[in-house]
Amino acid sequence: MYEVLNRAARIQLAIFDVDGVLTDGRLYFGNDGNEVKAFHSRDGQGIQMLLDSGIEVAVISGRRAASVERRMADLGIRHVWLGIHNKLAAFQELLAQLNLSADQAAYTGDDLIDLAVMTRAGLAIAVQDADPFVKQHAHWQTPSRGGCGAVREVCELLLDARGQLTAARERYL
């Protein structure tokens, strides 16, 4: 765990996949054909804690959905990459835009499309129910499944490693 906390202490950018990380990975389609997703409110609170503590947040997803665009806007996430099939290219462009190195970025994923970024990020995180092959490439695995509070656990790990978790929680007293 010491190595994970060392890596986490350097993080300036937390990047999350959407399906299977911010959601449980299931896809729901209404009768109108629109995609509907469920997000965990505690994950959103964790993201707010990161942003309030000066850590940038981004999402890179292979799918595009209006529900994701709305949720990310509600959370104030400025770096939203949807419909991305080459996540590594998006990752590299995002790092360049923010003038960060790969070791200053954490990436949380769950499936094979996430591996190219996970193997280059300073802190690679897999959710508890990630593909077994993906888990082999993670520095840390969340105790919770994707869509069930795993993102909150990532946020608290990052804040704790920086010594900011207590202050982030106390803002709400």
What integer is the mean pLDDT of 30-40? 88
28 band by pLDDT with thresholds 50, 70 and 90: confident
Amino acid letter, residue 3: E
144 pLDDT exceeds 90?
yes
Tell me, what DSSP letter sits at residue 54? T
30 pLDDT exceeds 90?
no
Beta strands in 20-168 (DSSP E): 28-29, 35-36, 56-60, 79-81, 105-109, 123-126, 140-141
34 pLDDT exceeds 90?
no
What integer is the mean pLDDT of 160-171? 96
Token readout for 56 is 């940038």
Per-residue pLDDT at 35: 84
Least confident range of 23-32, 51-60, 104-113, 161-170: 23-32
Annotate 102-133 with DSSP letters as a single string. GGGEEEEE-SGGGHHHHTTSSEEEE-TTS-HH
Per-residue pLDDT at 60: 98
- Cα separation, 163 vs 124, in Å, equals 20
- Cα separation, 31 vs 150, in Å, equals 30
Contacts of 50 by beta carbon, 8 Å cutoff, 6+ apart: 14, 57, 155, 158, 159
43 band by pLDDT with thresholds 50, 70 and 90: very high
Domains along the sequence of the chain with CATH:
2-170 (3.40.50.1000)
87 band by pLDDT with thresholds 50, 70 and 90: very high
105 pLDDT exceeds 90?
yes
Amino acid letter, residue 164: Q
Token readout for 139 is 């520095």
Per-residue pLDDT at 33: 84
Counting every residue written for the chain, the total comes to: 173
